[in-house]
Amino acid sequence: MRSFAFSAAENVDQAIIACESNNAEASYIAGGTTLIDLVKLDVMRPERVIDLNRLPLKEVERLDDGRLRIGALVSNTDLAHHPLVTEHYPLLSQALLAGASTQLRNMATTAGNIMQRTRCPYFRDVAAACNKRDPGSGCDALGGINRMHALLGTSEHCIATHPSDMCVAMAALGATLTLEGPNGIREIAFGDFHRLPMDRPDLEHELEPNELITHITLDTPVVGGGSHYLKLRDRASYEFALASAAVVVAVEDGVIRDARLALGGVATKPWQAMEAEQALTGQPAKTESFEKAAEIALADALPREHNAFKVPLARQAILRALEKATQAAMNS
């Protein structure tokens, strides 16, 4: 592994200045499960690494307006099992526990999970052409083994999936990120944080180089909503999604009052299927409505040589997640 300078920040201000006070390429480290993996592969090459683990950002708290504020450094394990999450946002808990392994979830943090990089094998191989890793070099996935790659939000420059499960639940639930940098604090909607690859797949999010994420605040829970996270993959555990669906529905007298639907494993960013959500609202909570929604959600799917199987797979994930969430709503 390449060498780097290291410092541990005691507070947010120190973390920001440590990052900007030097022209060298700096990188924050939280759980390290993305960063160290990619430094070992020589894909990420920070000259300075700044440890965030001493920052006081490990609380999960309910705000007066009913939203849930999560510190950037809360571990994936602690968040998944937090009583306020299991009670009010079981979808988030389910999605977190569907990701990675016990050991990795113990290490991984909420902000680190949002910032994790794609698992595209060409991105991870420095001998391959990859516009995300090396802008302008091309994309070996386009004509390569693209079985794991995305159907939605792709461009001719990059078709890599965003690998997170947690983020799919957040896209469905709605959230706001709090960012802090040299110019102060700002907020951004979760849905606006990750970028589509377009012609600059190396630019993955709206964070400025010396800004950090301090909190993630979930919208108030859907009243009377049932939810379900369904993840389909090559093995039953410890594997990334081929397709996943996060659903929240509230049903009144057999009619869908509110619907949230987000997809994972098939898109270049955590994918909120907004048009499908709108199409579900006001419709009977029945298979025909779910089928219509799945059709709308996948209307723009653009399969490549090896990933066309993901279209029916994602459709099935949507249908089953909607059915399960509806059952949960009826039983609540």
Partner 1 sequence: MNMKEYSTQTKAVETETTVTLTVNGEPRQLRIPPNVVLLDALRDRLGLTGTKKGCDHGQCGACTVHIDGQAINSCLTLAVMCEGREVTTIEGLASDAGLHPVQQAFLENDAYQCGFCTPGQMMSASAMLEDERIGTDDAAVREAMSGNICRCGAYKNILAAIQTARGQMPTARKEGEVS
Ligand X SMILES: Cc1cc2nc3c(=O)[nH]c(=O)nc-3n(C[C@H](O)[C@H](O)[C@H](O)COP(=O)(O)OP(=O)(O)OC[C@H]3O[C@@H](n4cnc5c(N)ncnc54)[C@H](O)[C@@H]3O)c2cc1C
Cα(30)–Cα(37) distance, integer angstroms: 13
* # chain residues binding ligand SF4, by CB under 6 A: 14
CB of 47 to ligand X, least distance (A): 13
Rounded-to-integer distance, Cα 116 and Cα 105, Å: 13
Which of the choices ligand SF4, ligand X, partner 1, none does residue 212 contact, using the CB cut-off of 5 to 8 A by kind? Answer: ligand X
Per the CB < 8 A criterion, the answer to whether 131 and 137 are in contact is yes
Pick what 113 binds: partner 1, ligand X, ligand SF4, none; C-beta below 5 to 8 Å, kind-dependent. Answer: ligand X
Q: Which is nearer to partner 1, 53 or 281 (CB)?
A: 53
User: Nearest-5° angle of CA 188, CA 194, CA 195?
Assistant: 115
Q: What is the closest distance, in whole angstroms, from the C-beta atom of residue 287 to partner 1 in the complex?
A: 29
Secondary structure E strands in 57-152:
60-62, 68-71
Q: Which does 123 bind (CB under 5 to 8 A by kind): ligand X, partner 1, ligand SF4, none?
A: ligand SF4
Q: Which residues of the shown chain bind ligand X in the complex (CB under 6 A)? A: 27-35, 37, 52, 72, 99-100, 104, 107-109, 111-113, 115-116, 163-166, 212-213, 240
Contacts with partner 1 by CB under 8 A: the residue count is 46
Task: Using the rule CB under 6 A, give the single segment among 57-65, 135-143, 164-172, 298-306 that binds ligand SF4.
Answer: 135-143
Q: Is 202 exposed, middle or buried (0-12, 13-18, 19+ CB in 10 A)?
A: middle
* Nearest alpha-carbon partner for 113 in 89, 92, 133, 135: 92
* CB nearer to ligand X: pick between 148 and 213: 213
Interaction of residue 266 with ligand SF4, rule CB under 6 A: no
Helix or strand holding residue 300 (H, E): none
Window 97-116: residues binding partner 1 (CB under 8 A)? 97, 100-104, 106-107
Angle subtended at Cα 107 by Cα 197 and Cα 76, rounded to the nearest 5 degrees = 70
| Contact status: 240 vs ligand SF4 (CB under 6 A) | no
Residue 152 beta carbon to partner 1: minimum distance, rounded to whole angstroms: 27
Stretch that binds ligand SF4, among 3-11, 26-34, 157-165, 279-287 (CB under 6 A): 157-165
Q: Does 141 bind ligand SF4 (CB under 6 A)?
A: yes
In sequence order, the β-bridge partners of residue 177 are: 188, 216
Q: E strands within 94-242?
A: 175-181, 184-189, 212-218, 225-232
> In angstroms, rounded to a whole number, what is the distance separating the alpha carbons of residues 111 and 287?
36
Q: Six-digit token pair at 55?
A: 């920052």
Residues 207-236 that bind partner 1 (CB under 8 A): 236
Q: Which of 52, 74, 77 is nearest to 61 (CA)?
A: 74
Q: Return d(Cα 321, Cα 107) in angstroms, integer.
A: 29
By C-beta, is 122 or 193 nearer to ligand SF4? 122
- Amino acid symbol at 31: G
Q: How many residues does the chain have?
A: 332
- Spell out, one character per residue from 102 to 131, where the chain touches ligand SF4: x when CB under 6 A holds, - when not: ----------------x-x-xx------xx
In the complex, the smallest distance separating the C-beta of residue 307 from ligand X, rounded to whole angstroms, is 18
Q: Nearer to ligand SF4 by C-beta: 163 or 221?
A: 163
The yes or no reply on residue 132 touching ligand SF4 (CB under 6 A) is yes
Question: H or E stretch including 171?
Answer: helix 166-173
Residues near ligand SF4, by CB under 6 A: 118, 120, 122-123, 130-132, 139-141, 158-160, 201
